[in-house]
Amino acid sequence: MPADHITFPSATPFSCFSLAGQTALVTGAAGGLGRAQCLALGTAGARVIVSDLDPEAAEETCVSLREHAIDCSPLELDAAGSSSIDAAFDALEACGDSPDVLVNNAGVSLRNSALEATLEEFDTMLSVNLRGTYFTAQRAARAMRKRGGGRIINLASIGGLVVDGERSSVYDASKAAVVQVTKNMAYEWGRHGIRVNAIAPGYMRTAMTADLVPDLAEEHRLVDTHIPLGRIGEPSDLGGAVVYLASAASAYVTGHTLTVDGGWVVAL
């Protein structure tokens, strides 16, 4: 075969990004990053299960997505509670529903210095960012194993790869753990046809990061000192990454953490 001949098994270069006929479950879907990923997955053809700890916010997100002709349904799921995770998956399985794709997007960021961080802050961030990610993935993987495979995408952070600023020790620790469990899950579950990857966003313009970028002066400082692409990220910047990792376009990719950070990490 000529060296420049490329084949795309069972898909054209463009159709391999299609999610038609697939169901994607997104946690923390009512937040800025969650909504953006729901929109991207739905636009690629997936039916989206919009899960959030606030059922009204999940329904409001569905209303917004339906304006884009996206097939979606709300689901109450509190990633901090194992009983809520089990109840959500039990409800899905009771009606014969099971996601082909899980996006573990739910997370919290409570910033404090390593000298002042409290036990409550520590427990809250670890319970949502790590424990919630872990056990939501576990429930999804059990169902995916029975069906012959699936894709799991965990939301990490550049803080899981590098120190992204002061007052970040607990948050960064939780996200570093997400990076590592993504590797472990990919290693264990690959034999079941389950691919597990992570996305590590940089600073994105969301309500969660509002206190980190309180004004234009601070934004300009961050951009000038850390971001080669010259701007703070927008939630929509995650769209291509999540579709890629959810689709056949990444069929031979697992255990990987994809940075979407405008070049922050490489600029260090």
Domain range annotation of the chain: 15-267
Would the pLDDT of 95 be above 60? yes
* Comparison of pLDDT for 220 and 187, the residue scoring more: 187
Rounded Cα distance, 2 and 129, in Å: 47
pLDDT at res. 4: 44
Q: What is the mean pLDDT of residues 155-179?
A: 95
Q: What global pTM score does this model have?
A: 0.93
The model's pLDDT over 129-156, given as tens digits with 9 standing for 90+, comes to 999 999 999 999 999 999 999 999 999 9
**pLDDT(240) > 70:** yes
Mutual orientation of helices 169-189 and 133-147 as an angle, nearest 10°? Answer: 10
pLDDT value of residue 14: 67
> Is the confidence at residue 21, as pLDDT, over 80?
yes
Q: What pLDDT, on a 0 to 100 scale, did the predictor assign at position 2?
A: 39
User: Above 70 in pLDDT, residue 9?
Assistant: no
Q: Spell out a b/e string for 196-235, using b for 16 or more CB atoms within 10 Å of the CB, else e.
A: bbbbbbbbbbbeebeebbeeeeebeebbeebbeeeebbeb
Tell me whether strands 150-155 and 194-201 are parallel, antiparallel or unpaired: parallel
> How high is the pLDDT of residue 41?
98
Nearest alpha-carbon partner for 59 in 42, 73, 78, 43: 73
* 6 has a pLDDT exceeding 50: no
pLDDT at residue 5 above 80?
no
Mean pLDDT of 102-113: 96
Catalytically active residues, by annotation: 171
Question: What CATH class does 15-267 carry?
Answer: alpha beta
Q: Is the pLDDT of residue 97 over 80?
A: yes
Amino acid 10: pLDDT: 53
92 vs 72: CA distance, rounded Å = 14
- Check whether 13 has a pLDDT greater than 60: no
Amino acid sitting at position 37: Q
